[in-house]
Amino acid sequence: MQEKDFFTEKPETRSAQYACPRCGRRNEYPVRWIRRTKRSLPANANPKDKALYAKLRDYLIRVDDVLVCKSCQRKFEIPSQHSLVFVDDIPTGLPKDDYDE
């Protein structure tokens, strides 16, 4: 089994504040993410799959890489150090911790 077989994917949108590097104004932007949540372990899993499953955690992958400034209408890139975030590392309240099922 591959790692992707252990997860359920759901799209979600979270708001975040970014400053435009050109005009310097800070605004709140909607950013698209994919939430990968662990499924239950399949019954036909071998010991190797069980060891991999034990190490897995729920996480978010950012889909959007570029935003358009609300003030000057120019595109800018979102800093890449936050493109993957583990759900249990998210501080309470920011970004949105709960989602619709």
pTM score, two decimals? 0.73
Q: Is residue 53 part of a domain?
A: yes
Answer whether the bond into residue 95 is a cis peptide, omega within 30°.
yes
Q: Is residue 95 part of a domain?
A: no
89 exposed, middle or buried (CB, 10 Å; 0-12, 13-18, 19+)? exposed
Write out pLDDT tens, residues 60-92: 999 988 999 998 999 999 877 778 888 887 765
Domain residues for the domain of 54 are 3-88
Q: Is residue 75 part of a domain?
A: yes
Split into its structural domains, the chain has a count of 1
Q: Is residue 47 part of a domain?
A: yes
3-state secondary structure of 24: coil
Q: Is residue 94 part of a domain?
A: no
Q: Is residue 69 part of a domain?
A: yes
Q: Is residue 9 part of a domain?
A: yes
